[in-house]
């Protein structure tokens, strides 16, 4: 496959998949908020600094970017052509760390939901999933 992306497009794509206040996270936040739930953000005292924490319900929502967290979808199966070893190492480390964090959280009595970046496009479905989780 030929890499048709220009350098500018590539850096744009990369900047979109970096962490932080990414768009999918904002969408999930406002969804949770619209359901009337109160939450805390990125609690540093919990494994993995979970994106959305509902202390009263002992529930946690992670919003994972498909690329970084190697989701089993078309976005998670992108293999960068440059520095591919670097990206692959980073991504497999991330997957291992995610699994460790979620295990530790569950052991501490937290219920954990992972929302994937690609799921945020289907808002009605997502609402159902989040509603089901928060009960």
Q: Of 75 and 87, which has the nearer Cβ to Zn ion? A: 75
Touching Zn ion, residues 72-131 (CB under 5 A): 73, 75, 116, 118
The single-letter DSSP state of residue 22 is: -
How many residues touch Zn ion under the rule CB under 5 A: the total is: 6
Task: Quote the least distance from Cβ 118 to Zn ion, whole Å.
Answer: 3
Strand order in the sheet with 59-64: 40-41, 52-54, 59-64, 111-116
Stretch that binds Zn ion, among 1-9, 45-53, 68-76, 84-92 (CB under 5 A): 68-76
Is residue 69 a contact point for Zn ion (CB under 5 A)? no
Q: Of 41 and 122, which has the nearer Cβ to Zn ion? A: 122
Is residue 71 a contact point for Zn ion (CB under 5 A)? yes
Task: Quote the least distance from Cβ 85 to Zn ion, whole Å.
Answer: 23
Task: Quote the least distance from Cβ 122 to Zn ion, whole Å.
Answer: 11
> From residue 57, how far is each of 4, 44, 62, 116 by CA, in Å?
47, 18, 15, 21
Report how far Cα 60 is from the mean position of its chain's Cα atoms. Answer: 12
Tell me the C-alpha distance between 66 and 120, whole Å: 11
**Binding track over 47-66 against Zn ion, x by CB under 5 A:** -------------------x
Does residue 102 contact residue 125 with C-beta atoms inside 8 Å? no
Residue 70: count of CB within 10 angstroms of its CB? 19
Binding site for Zn ion (CB under 5 A): 66, 71, 73, 75, 116, 118
């Amino acid at each position: 496959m030929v890499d048709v992306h220009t350098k500018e497009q590539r850096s744009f794509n990369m900047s979109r998949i970096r962490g932080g206040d990414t768009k999918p996270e904002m969408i999930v936040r406002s969804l949770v908020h619209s359901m009337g739930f109160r939450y805390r953000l990125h609690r540093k005292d919990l494994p993995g600094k979970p994106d959305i924490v509902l202390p009263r319900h002992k529930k946690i929502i992670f919003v994972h970017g498909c690329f970084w967290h190697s989701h089993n979808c078309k976005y998670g199966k992108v293999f960068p052509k440059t520095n591919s070893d670097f990206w692959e190492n980073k991504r497999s480390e991330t997957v291992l760390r995610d699994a460790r964090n979620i295990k530790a959280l569950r052991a501490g009595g937290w219920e954990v939901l992972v929302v994937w970046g690609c799921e945020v496009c289907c808002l009605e479905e997502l609402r159902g999933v989040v509603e089901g989780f928060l009960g």
